[in-house]
Amino acid sequence: MALLSELGPDLALITYLIRGIDRDSRHSSIWSSTGGRLQMLFHQGTFVADQ
């Protein structure tokens, strides 16, 4: 499941979890919309610690 958070006009933060076979990871990316064109400005993925 992805979560979209509006950061400002034409700017959004998307966060989501990927469930892997061995490990899960959390991801986030910041997207901008300019002139009807989407562009990813930032992305990071981080493994979730074993519980």
Instruction: State pLDDT tens for residues 16-47.
Output: 999 999 999 999 999 999 999 999 999 999 99
With a cut of 90, say whether residue 51 has pLDDT above it: no
Q: Tell me the pairing of strands 11-19 and 24-34.
A: antiparallel
Distance in angstroms (rounded) separating the CA atoms of residues 31 and 6: 10
Kindly report the pTM of this predicted structure.
0.83
